[in-house]
Amino acid sequence: MNERPTLARLTRVELRKMVDTRSGFWLQLAVLGLTAVTVVITVIAGHEDDMTYRHIFANALFPAGILLPVVGILLVSSEWSQRTALVSFALVPERERLIAAKVLAGIVLGLLATAFAAVVAAIGTAVASPDVAHVWTIPVGLIGQDVVYVVTAMVIGVGFGAALLASAPAIVLYFGLPAALGALGSIHALHGTVEWISSGSLEPLTEQVLNGHEWAQVAVTLVLWMALPLAIGTWRITKRDLS
Amino acid sequence: MIEAEKLTKRFAGRAVVDGVSFRCEPGTVTGFLGPNGAGKTTTMRMICGFARPDAGSASVLGGEYRRLPNPGRRVGVLLDASAQHGGRRGREALAISAQTMGVDEARVDDLLDRVGLERSAARKRVRQYSLGMRQRLGIANALIGEPEVLILDEPANGLDPEGMRWMRGLLKDFAERGGTVLLSSHLLHEVDVIADRLVIIGAGKIVAQGSRDELLSSAGTLVRADDDAALARALAAAGLTGREAEGGGLLVDAEPRAVGAAARDGGVALVHLAPAGDAGLEQLFFDLTSGEEER
């Protein structure tokens, strides 16, 4: 009974923490609901050529791509704003293990959200194009990219939450920085640079199978938007006194 | 067992905790007493590994808190009753602690009964809790892992008199079964009724520590006369100094025997002469508190 809690157990606890608060519960429900709504709208209002599984699935991932990072942010920042870090770290003094559990929980939730979107999109495709076989073709690589898209969005959220340790600034920056970079990118001289550092380079992940150049942009973006905030956050959380 | 060894913490060059040493033995309740801002919370956070001491060390159960593999099973901690997610239900807050430390969740309901939180209250979100209810929830949270040591920061804050009596019973019982308790308070009477031993801290330094009786016996003598001015002169003539005590009379740093003799030599009739006891302890604590305010 005195053994260290396993990382698997801590991850389960973190997953539970994502849904057992009022805000967490409604955010998850919003992701599920909006995913379904997006598919319905695509099926009803979309162009006939777009009634393919590949296209509907891409649309279905959109709500998760936007809202899951907020779930990720809150998973870390609420420990500070709600001051539950005092309870969490009393039970798990090795703070880096708790951060690892949060990242793992984010990955699991990202996978679940992708799976849900895949199922809803399949239902939507079956309703929109019954008995048409070719609408179901989707490159395996694209499915993999869809998973990467949702999971990294989630982990980016965890990273932002960890780096800023405050919900509001993390959410504002998460949505504000890409917008600001987008504005910079409209300046012709900066366009090339912005293409590499903006999180916008993650968007094509759900649209087409990427080439080497695009993968390089994704990798650079993930270092800047995911790895860097996570590293800053881990440093802040493990080195800082809790008061 | 808890041991603090010359614990020191500086903020912006100022020592908020300065060479604090004390021990809490199994089977005892230690009251950590001091005015707000004296360094109680910082000391307790250093003991639990939340803040790193600039000098000195602290150990819980023979080692650093941070080295305990599953601390919840050995040490129950309540550092701030408000530190719960407002949007989480009370029972759920306990359930995630139980899950983290690998305790059967069924135990949560027993604990809710034990701390006097009704099922209807446990289903509410913590945001709706009064401070007293949060304290009860926090104490339940500290007890989930059936620990040997309890570390509680201001647990009586917000409790009504009935709640105080309940907590005294709970902690006495915990100590009688061999547990170690460290609890802090800024109010003398809260700690006085619960603790076997007192550690008094003021401006980051330990001012006094010992059992209640030890502290009381060193608290001096309370003496009253109809003519306090004549009494003060008689004491001065005997080389004793008296300070005005809360509620009248003089508090003298000497045995009643010496004070009585000084009054006799000065020809002053006394109406009261006794060890200062509670009044002395209160005075000691009052001096600390007012000293803090002047700064």
ipTM: 0.89
Greatest C-alpha distance within chain A: 63
State the average pLDDT over residues B96-123: 95
Q: Which structure tokens are listed for B77? A: 């901690």
Whether the pLDDT of residue B288 is over 70: the answer is no
Chain A residues within 8 A (CB-CB) of chain B?
1-5, 9-10, 12-13, 16-17, 20-24, 78, 82-94, 241-243
The mean pLDDT of chain A is 91
All residues of chain A having their beta carbon less than 8 Å from the beta carbon of residue B79 are 86, 90
Measured in angstroms, the CA of B86 and the nearest CA of chain A are apart by 7
Q: B85, A82: Cβ pair inside 8 Å?
A: yes
Give the SS3 label for residue B255: coil
Whether the pLDDT of residue B55 is over 80: the answer is yes
The pLDDT score that the predictor gives to residue B19 is 95
pLDDT tens by residue, A65-119? 999 999 999 999 999 988 899 999 999 999 999 999 999 999 999 999 999 999 9
All residues of chain A having their beta carbon less than 8 Å from the beta carbon of residue B96 are 13, 16-17, 20
Whether the pLDDT of residue B289 is over 70: the answer is no
**DSSP H or E run through B61:** none
Is A32 domain-assigned?
A: yes
Measured in angstroms, the CA of A151 and the nearest CA of chain B are apart by 24
Q: B100, A91: Cβ pair inside 8 Å?
A: yes
Pairing verdict, β B250-252 and B14-24: unpaired
Please tell me the class of the B2-210 domain.
alpha beta
B250-252: strand order across its sheet: B242-244, B250-252, B221-225, B270-275
Whether the pLDDT of residue A1 is over 70: the answer is no
Whether the pLDDT of residue A32 is over 70: the answer is yes
Residue B128 forms contact with A (CB below 8 Å): no
Pairing verdict, β B2-11 and B14-24: antiparallel
Contact B33, B16 (CB under 8 A): no
The pLDDT score that the predictor gives to residue B290 is 62
The pLDDT score that the predictor gives to residue A99 is 96
Which alpha helices (DSSP H) does chain A contain, by range? Answer: 7-19, 22-45, 53-81, 85-91, 95-128, 140-164, 167-185, 191-197, 212-222, 228-239
The pLDDT score that the predictor gives to residue A36 is 96
The pLDDT score that the predictor gives to residue B280 is 72
The mean pLDDT of chain B is 90
Give the SS3 label for residue B154: coil
Is A1 domain-assigned?
A: no
Whether the pLDDT of residue B292 is over 60: the answer is no
Nearest chain A alpha carbon to B88 = A21
Residue B131 forms contact with A (CB below 8 Å): no
Q: Could you write out the DSSP letters of every residue in B86-121? A: TTBBHHHHHHHHHHHHT--TTHHHHHHHHTT--HHH
Alpha carbons A196 and B74: distance in angstroms, whole number: 51
Q: Could you write out the DSSP letters of every residue in A60-99? A: HHHHHHHHHHHHHHHHHHHHHHS-THHHHHHH---HHHHH
Q: B70, A21: Cβ pair inside 8 Å?
A: no
Residue holding tokens 């920056």?
A173
Contact B235, B259 (CB under 8 A): yes
State which amino acid sits at residue B257. R
Per-residue confidence band for B220, with pLDDT thresholds at 50, 70 and 90: confident
State the average pLDDT over residues B150-179: 93
Is A2 domain-assigned?
A: no
Alpha carbons B165 and B72: distance in angstroms, whole number: 26
Residue B12 forms contact with A (CB below 8 Å): no
Measured in angstroms, the CA of A99 and the nearest CA of chain B are apart by 14
Give the rounded percent of residues in chain B with a pLDDT score beyond 70.
97
Return the C-alpha torsion angle B109, B111, B116, B122, nearest 10: -50
A179, A199, A202, B167, B201 from A184: Cα distances, Å: 9, 13, 17, 61, 57
Alpha carbons A49 and B128: distance in angstroms, whole number: 53
Range of the domain at A147: 7-239
Pick from A141-155, B140-154, B181-195: least confident:
B181-195
A148, A208, A234, B48, B88 from A111: Cα distances, Å: 9, 20, 23, 36, 25
The pLDDT score that the predictor gives to residue A202 is 84
Whether the pLDDT of residue B293 is over 50: the answer is no
Give the rounded percent of residues in chain A with a pLDDT score beyond 70.
99
Pick from A109-113, A239-243, B9-13, B264-268: least confident:
A239-243
Q: Measured between CB atoms, which of A21, A23, A83 is closest to B82? A: A83
Q: Hey, which residues does B5 pair with through a beta bridge? A: B57
Give the SS3 label for residue B178: coil
Per the structure, how many domains does chain A have? 1
Residue B129 forms contact with A (CB below 8 Å): no
Contact B74, B68 (CB under 8 A): yes
Whether the pLDDT of residue B198 is over 50: the answer is yes
All residues of chain B having their beta carbon less than 8 Å from the beta carbon of residue A2 are 69-70, 73-74
Q: To 5 degrees, how large is the angle CA A191–CA A195–CA A201?
A: 150
Q: B97, A91: Cβ pair inside 8 Å?
A: yes
Per-residue confidence band for B291, with pLDDT thresholds at 50, 70 and 90: low
pLDDT tens by residue, A179-220? 888 888 888 878 877 777 778 778 888 888 888 888 998 999
Q: A5, B141: Cβ pair inside 8 Å?
A: no
Return left, alpha or beta for A94; rule: phi > 0 is left, psi -120 to 50 is alpha, else beta.
Answer: beta
Q: Which structure tokens are listed for A122? A: 């399949």
The pLDDT score that the predictor gives to residue B172 is 94
Name which residue leads in pLDDT, A203 or B46: B46
Q: Measured between CB atoms, which of B49, B65, B69 is closest to A2? A: B69
Domain boundaries in chain B? 2-210, 220-275
State which amino acid sits at residue B186. H
Q: Measured between CB atoms, which of B79, B80, B101 is closest to A5? A: B101
B180-185: strand order across its sheet: B75-78, B149-152, B180-185, B29-33, B197-202, B205-211
Pick from A98-102, A234-238, B273-277, B285-289: least confident:
B285-289
Q: Hey, which residues does A91 pair with through a beta bridge? A: none
Alpha carbons A127 and A121: distance in angstroms, whole number: 10
Q: B69, A4: Cβ pair inside 8 Å?
A: yes
Q: Measured between CB atoms, which of B73, B88, B102 is closest to A9? A: B102
Q: A90, B69: Cβ pair inside 8 Å?
A: no
Q: B87, A17: Cβ pair inside 8 Å?
A: no
Nearest chain B alpha carbon to A87 = B83
The pLDDT score that the predictor gives to residue B254 is 85
Contact B36, B216 (CB under 8 A): no
Measured in angstroms, the CA of A29 and the nearest CA of chain B are apart by 16
The pLDDT score that the predictor gives to residue B191 is 84
State the average pLDDT over residues B30-37: 92
Per-residue confidence band for B294, with pLDDT thresholds at 50, 70 and 90: very low
Q: Hey, which residues does B222 pair with through a beta bridge? A: B251, B274
Greatest mean pLDDT among A20-24, B69-73, B238-242, B260-264 lies in B69-73
